[in-house]
Amino acid sequence: MNKSMSSLGFVAILAVWAWASPSHALPFADSVISFAGGRGFGVDDESPGTYAGEWGEGVFDPLAVMSLDGAVLGLGGAPDASGTPITPGAITMRFTTGEIIDGVGADLRLYDTFSFADGFNLDISSDGSSFSHAFSFAGDLTQFSCSLAAPCVTDVDISGTGLNAISYLRITAAGNSSQGFPEAYTLDAVEALNFQSLPVSEPGTLALAGMAAAALAATRRRKNMMAGE
């Protein structure tokens, strides 16, 4: 057998396996499914000139929560000065390229990069329809230096929810929150810490599979030719 042809077949098969196997990255939630802002919601841009979206009180732009850049979306709806409950703002997001999996330690991380460490509730889902409560943070108004340089980080372990993998999350303003624009929980981004990518698109996989098949066919032809000599 021609060793070079045999090696080609092996390399092609290895390439298909590597291309089709899940990769482990640390992406941010990259799609907003829905948003309902409470009183005082809006986008505040504290990025160093990197945020390219809309900003201002009463403004919603999904770009504000797609990356860790200092631009935040205040969900809105903190209680008023008398403590009267105000309908809280809520955002539902999705990781479109894969799933957060229940791994070792924390599985996802939420970033607040503006002023106070506001409170929130977190619910998660594998299908976007049925949500399970995953975490609550009461907020800490004595911590008021959240920024891009020193973000207020909340790590969440999904193991207590009974879900092994999720793609959807819903964040709702709750607990102690700052008032005035931007009001309530100020979300910058949500990062996956334990993540499994979805399989690659079919065209790319088929192209590599074709390369592997061609290499194997060439190897067999070469072997048959040598056997007949």
Radius of gyration, alpha carbons of the chain: 24
DSSP-assigned states of every residue in 21-78: SPP---PBP-EEEEEE--TT-EEEE-SSS---S--EET---GGGGSSSSSEEEE----
Q: Please give the model's pTM, rounded to 2 decimal places.
A: 0.77
| pLDDT tens-digit readout, 123-156 | 999 999 999 999 999 999 899 999 999 999 999 9
* Sign of the torsion angle spanned by Cα atoms 172, 177, 179, 183: negative
23-198: CATH architecture: Sandwich (2.60)
Cis omega before residue 182 (within 30°)?
Answer: yes
DSSP-assigned states of every residue in 82-95: T----PPPEEEEE-
| pLDDT tens-digit readout, 13-48 | 333 333 333 443 479 999 999 999 999 999 999 999
What's the whole-number mean pLDDT along residues 196-208?
A: 66
Confidence of residue 84 (pLDDT cuts 50, 70, 90): confident
Which amino acid is located at 104 in the chain? V
Confidence of residue 228 (pLDDT cuts 50, 70, 90): low
pLDDT of 223 strictly over 80: no
Q: Which residues contact 155 (CB under 8 A, 6 or more apart)?
A: 105, 106, 108, 109, 193
Q: Are 83 and 179 in contact (CB under 8 A)?
A: no
User: Where are the domains positioned within the chain?
Assistant: 1-22+199-229, 23-198
